[in-house]
Amino acid sequence: MTNKHKLGLLVFFLLFLFLLIRNSWASDDAFITLRVVTNIIHGYGPNWNGAERVQVFTHPLWMLVLIPFYALIRTPFYTLYAASFIFSAAAVFFLLYKITPSAWTVPIAAALLLASKAFMDYSSSGLENPLSHLLALLFIWVFLFKETNAANRLFLLTMFVSLSMLNRLDTVLIFLPALLFEIIYSIRNFRKTISALFLGGLPIILWEAFSIFYYGFPFPNTYYAKLTTGIPQSELFQQGWYYFQNSLNWDHITLPLIGLAVILALFWGDPKRRFLALGIALYLAYILYIGGDFMSGRFFSLPFFMAVALLLGLMPVLKLKDSPLFSIAATGLILFAGLTSLTPPILIQMEEDNGVIDDHGVADEKVAYFYCCGLLNQWDHGTKLKIIEDARQANEENIPFVIRESIGIYGYYAGADVYIMDKVCLSDPLRSRLPAFNSWRIGHFRRPYPVGYQETIADGFVNQIREPHLHEYYDKLMLVTRGDLFSMERLKTIVEFNLGTYDHLIDEYVRSNDLGNP
């Protein structure tokens, strides 16, 4: 690396850090995980509601990462800011240092990152995206650039995929084509291939074994709340299309850059880059399939970051002119396109008090929370939220049971002794398994409250559910979530749940038409 390259890296890396600080914020969903972190520290275990074993977080690795941050910092907002900042800084520094091929590509890379609303918005937020970005970049570096033997490379690639899955399970799709390519390449030495896959996959294997034993299920409760809704697939496809349209309307860099990188890699890249592009395309298809998300751009930050790395690696292959004039022109055009986006990160305002949500339920979540939860607003607004006052009051008055929709910030400040049932079932082990209402917003699927269910919780979990099939189902579910951890009956019930033995009870409950209250 030349001195010119190093100087450009330093200048644009510092610029990124400056804008990252200005854009730092914390989402309500991040506090869901943070309540689990505090429960672990206080001896309740990795649970949401006290002794009820329900995995309410989607990112086990990120949850584990937050534990030392919180133990050291001890304040929620700054824990989330610091963790996001460190991993985002590491990911961007690695990109500029290891992936940019020359000094004049550094400003282009930096401009792409700074102009992308999806990437900048979710380089903070307290969610798992920064760690996903870093793990993806390490995968790309090993796959494309690191010189090592086939078995060692497969081990490293499998390990990064395993850690990424531990950070968010569905990210496996974005790596799958490239990993399969590497497996096929290495299969000639079958024993070493199997050994590399097993050792590299140990993080996710061990977590899944723990998850099934402790929580009773291989997937987080949010999987059942958001992906097993009974909503027709055609409606989810349509909502997914709206999610893509929303990104194109609000963020003029992210999806066009992803599309450009994928097309260039497929037509002009070598086989490895083509398989990376196929992984990005597969992940985009998955986003379309599940209906996207209610957070604008959140699911696009990972494919965008990988697309930037892919495009930078293609520049020498495409023989793009490496000159100051080309770099300045490209950087200027990228930044201008970014400035035309809705609430561009480069122009972030310190005070934003109006949320933005489109006609299809997709929200600019950062704008909605920046006024109260942005780093630069903490001194004025962060500790004065009414939701925090309500939560502290519930804690002080020993209110045992509440129902809420936004449960993160409230749940953290209310403490583990306040049982929180959320309207969209993220933490509810029973209602998340029931069919959702026909009227829904993406990411917010409401279910009925079965007659007697609220009374059951308020009365110390004495089952009072009226409908007999659901009553039996909940007895079994309570054995898994609240029963003796090591009892043979509980372990047997876990196996039966995962084999679908009790699914017919839900079907009978639905057929009974005794669904309960909206």
Distance separating alpha carbons of residues 358 and 75, to the nearest angstrom: 33
Instruction: Looking at 95-128, list the stretches that DSSP marks H as alpha helix, in order from N- to C-terminal side.
Output: 106-115, 117-121
Percent of all residues in the chain with a pLDDT value above 70, rounded to a whole number = 96
Residue 407 reports pLDDT greater than 70: yes
- Distance CA(156)–CA(119), nearest Å, equals 26
Of 315, 332, 347, the residue that ends a domain is: 347
Domain count, the chain: 2
Residue 401 lies in a domain: no
Mean pLDDT of the chain, nearest integer: 93
pTM value? 0.96
Tell me which of 18-22, 161-165, 349-353, 493-497 is least confident.
349-353
Same structural domain, 319 and 194: yes
* Cα of 462 vs its chain's centroid, Å: 35
Question: What was the pLDDT predicted at 300?
Answer: 98
- Residue 146, C-beta contacts closer than 8 angstroms, at least 6 positions apart: 153, 156
Pairing of strands 356-357, 363-364: antiparallel
pLDDT > 70? residue 353 = no
Alpha-carbon torsion 27, 32, 38, 41, what sign? Answer: negative
| Cβ neighbourhood burial of 267 (10 Å; 0-12, 13-18, 19+) | exposed
Quick one: which H or E segment has residue 10?
helix 3-23
116 found inside a domain: yes
The answer to the question of residue 455 being in a domain is: no
Residues 6+ apart with CB under 8 A from 40: 46, 67
Number of CB atoms found within 10 A of residue 332's CB: 12
- Residue at a domain's end among 320, 347, 374: 347
Q: Is 484 part of any domain?
A: yes
Query: By CB neighbour count within 10 A (0-12 exposed, 13-18 middle, 19+ buried), where does 43 fall?
Result: exposed
Q: Where do we find the tokens 């078995």? A: 151
In a domain? residue 509: yes
Range of the domain at 117: 3-347
